[in-house]
Amino acid sequence: MRITSGSDSDQLITFAADEVEELVRRQPNAVLGIATGSTPEPLYAELSRRSARGLDLSGLRITCLDEYVGLSADHPQSYRHYITEHVLDPWGIDPGNAVMPVGDAPDPDAAARDFESRILAWGGIDLQILGVGPNGHIAFNEPGSAFDSRTRVVSLTPSTLEANSRFFEDEADVPRRAITQGVGTILESRRAILLAFGEGKADAVRAMAEGEATEDVPASALQRHPNAAVLIDDKAASRLRTAPASV
């Protein structure tokens, strides 16, 4: 895991966008794994600007990390809706080239298995973008998730329900379950870039980077990823004992 920090999150976003650009120029139909959440939004916006200026992102194949169980694709808080708005539409990608769990499938376990097999059918993920939850979760792998876990239905912890309640009018509307790529699935991505900004992520970043690799902190599994980059701003880096490299 290579950690890079910077005082200006824009620089870190440029760094990540450059890597996506380099990938798409090398391999126009690469499989790019998208994370939801507010952290990566500026990255998708930067890539949308590059697309508007002529960078062709339309051949990319897109995979999603997770989806709420029970939300239909057109629900404004569904992750399919997020990906459509921030990635597929602005980058000109055919929705048929995006693989996501079906949140409102009658059998969520079958939907999870189907999602995982579609990722494998594409030959796996070339570059996976990741965020981290304040409790150290990646995708919706909550503390206690096995490092060899696969895509499955999970129950969300109170901490995650609280963190995600800001997106819903009523806390009671926050879905209690999700379909998520497993930690093992994420570890198979050929390259991973995790973004974390702000003080609220400082404890998770420290536990992920400087604690032992433990299922109590699912993001610490990235210590075992062969090619993972962690891009953090100074606030997210503020509790690290060892100063990371600067961008």
What residues numbered 48-77 form the site for ligand GLP, per CB under 6 A? 65-66
Annotated catalytic residue 29: no
Select from 38, 72, 117, 227 the one that contacts ligand GLP (CB under 6 A). Answer: 38
Candidates 14-22, 30-38, 53-61, 100-108; binding stretch for ligand GLP (CB under 6 A) = 30-38
Of 33 and 244, CB closest to ligand GLP: 33
Q: Does 149 bind ligand GLP (CB under 6 A)?
A: no
Work out which of 132, 192, 208, 228 binds ligand GLP, going by CB under 6 A: 132
49 touches 19 (CB < 8 A): no
227 lies in the site for ligand GLP, by CB under 6 A: no
Q: Which lies closer to ligand GLP via its Cβ, residue 91 or residue 197?
A: 197
Q: Give the helix ranges, DSSP H, for 136-212.
A: 158-164, 183-187, 202-210
Stretch that binds ligand GLP, among 52-60, 129-137, 146-154, 234-242 (CB under 6 A): 129-137
| 181 touches ligand GLP by CB under 6 A | no
- From candidates 100, 139, 192, 202, binder to ligand GLP by CB under 6 A: 139
Question: Which CB atom, from 55 or from 167, has the smaller least distance to ligand GLP?
Answer: 167
Angle, CA of 205, 208 and 214, to the nearest 5°: 155
Give the per-residue SS3 of 22-77. HHHHHCCCCEEEECCCCCCHHHHHHHHHHHHCCCCCCCCEEEECEEECCCCCCCCC
- From 142, 164, 225, 233, active-site residue: 142
With 0-12 / 13-18 / 19 or more C-beta atoms within 10 angstroms meaning exposed / middle / buried, residue 39 is buried
Considering 46, 66, 116, 233, which one is annotated as catalytic? 66
Distance CA 83, CA 36 (A): 7
Which CB atom, from 145 or from 160, has the smaller least distance to ligand GLP? 160
> What are the beta bridge partners of residue 99?
63
Catalytic residue among 67, 137, 225, 233: 137
Q: Compute how many residues bind ligand GLP; rule: CB under 6 A.
A: 13
DSSP single-letter state for residue 107: -
103 touches ligand GLP (CB under 6 A) = no
Kindly state the helix (H) or strand (E) to which residue 179 belongs, with its residue range: strand 177-180
Rounded distance, CA 73 to CA 44, Å? 20
Positions touching ligand GLP (CB under 6 A) are: 35-39, 65-66, 131-133, 139-140, 160
